[in-house]
């Protein structure tokens, strides 16, 4: 097993160290995590500070933040573990405020940023390549797979109506408060010229004007056209019938005269004129 670990470690890309891991004791072939020290400019990555962050590639789907934290806890105190679908700028992310909305599920192999409290943790984690394969799922900390994982995912997907209602009510209260603040600010700034001397004029009333897009304008025009068509009662009165017939006969006569002229012109063009 040590020879296999050394062979895998030797195949690691430049700058990376290969760590052999196994899902459980019964798994024969190890999986490799590629790790290196996360290096960025000072202040460029606020969420993943340099010298204290371990960048991990090839993280399998069954290896979550808790599993990575437990794997590297032997190297020092793990402050945080951030798993992403691909590498990117590590700006500090706001904690998800919603339990039901904007939840993103990452599938496939991922990358991770493991932040230690001290820089020595990063070097100790890279030194794990000299040891045997690390176990992700143990008896004390089992990782759910198969039917047990599906059942847990289904139970987590069931929404509690009371919690959902409480979250929606809290969101709507915050929204109403925000809109009231914006309206108060707009009322305060009404009639006050800006830096260039322009005064913003808005429409007031029960139905204030809203900016229309091209699609909205087309919908309004179509509704007005349908409204006018409903008001017009075609062929309802006798005189409307007479006018319609008279116009139809006039169009037929006009077309008949045009056809006669066209036929006469065609006959004239076919006449043989030797001189």
Average pLDDT, the chain: 79
pLDDT at 209: 53
Model's pTM, two decimal places? 0.53
Cβ-count burial 70-95 (b if 16+ within 10 Å, e if not): bbbeebbebeebbbeeeeeebeeeee
Cβ-count burial 40-68 (b if 16+ within 10 Å, e if not): eeeeebeebbbebbbbbbbbeeebbeebb
Instruction: Name the one residue in this structure whose structure tokens are 């809290």.
Output: 170
Q: What are phi and psi of 162, to 5 degrees?
A: -65, -45
Least confident of 111-115, 181-185, 209-213, 266-270: 209-213
pLDDT at 255: 93
- Between 145 and 54, the higher pLDDT residue: 54
d(CA 143, CA 126): 24
Residue whose C-alpha is closest to residue 48's, from 86, 78, 92, 87? 92
Helices (H), the chain: 2-10, 65-72, 120-126, 146-157, 161-189, 214-231, 238-270
pLDDT digits (tens, 9 = 90+) for 67-88: 888 888 889 899 989 888 888 7
d(CA 55, CA 45): 13
pLDDT digits (tens, 9 = 90+) for 94-104: 556 677 776 66
Q: Are 177 and 169 in contact (CB under 8 A)?
A: no
d(CA 119, CA 54): 10
- Burial (CB < 10 A; 0-12, 13-18, 19+), residue 118, is middle
Residue whose C-alpha is closest to residue 54's, from 136, 122, 127? 122
pLDDT digits (tens, 9 = 90+) for 142-193: 888 778 878 888 887 788 888 888 888 888 999 999 998 988 887 777 766 7
Edge-to-edge strand ranges of the sheet holding 17-22 = 78-84, 110-116, 53-59, 31-37, 17-22, 134-135
Q: Are 34 and 56 in contact (CB under 8 A)?
A: yes
């Amino acid at each position: 097993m040590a020879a296999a670990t050394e062979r895998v470690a030797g195949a690691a890309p430049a700058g990376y160290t290969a760590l052999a891991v196994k899902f459980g004791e019964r798994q024969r072939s190890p999986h490799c995590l590629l790790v290196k020290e996360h290096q960025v400019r000072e202040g460029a990555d606020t969420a993943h500070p340099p010298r204290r962050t371990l960048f991990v590639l090839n993280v399998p789907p069954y290896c979550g933040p808790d599993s990575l934290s437990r794997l590297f806890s032997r190297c020092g105190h793990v402050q945080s573990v951030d798993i992403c679908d691909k590498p990117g700028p590590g700006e500090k992310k706001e904690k998800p405020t919603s339990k039901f909305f904007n939840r993103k599920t990452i599938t496939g192999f991922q990358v991770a940023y493991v932040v230690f409290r001290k820089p020595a943790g990063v070097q100790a984690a890279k030194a794990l390549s000299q040891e045997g394969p690390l176990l992700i799922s143990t008896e004390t900390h089992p990782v759910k797979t198969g039917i047990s994982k599906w059942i847990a995912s289904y139970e987590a997907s069931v929404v509690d109506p009371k919690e959902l209602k409480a979250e929606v009510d809290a969101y709507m209260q915050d929204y109403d408060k925000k809109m009231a603040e914006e309206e108060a600010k707009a009322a305060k700034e009404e009639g006050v010229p800006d830096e260039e001397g322009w005064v913003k004029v808005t429409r007031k009333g029960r139905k204030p004007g809203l900016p229309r897009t091209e699609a909205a304008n087309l919908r309004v025009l179509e509704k007005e056209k349908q409204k006018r068509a409903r008001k017009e009662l075609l062929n309802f009165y006798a005189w409307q019938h007479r006018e319609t017939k008279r116009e139809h006969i006039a169009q037929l006569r006009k077309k008949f005269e045009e056809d006669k002229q066209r036929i006469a012109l065609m006959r004239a063009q076919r006449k043989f004129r030797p001189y």
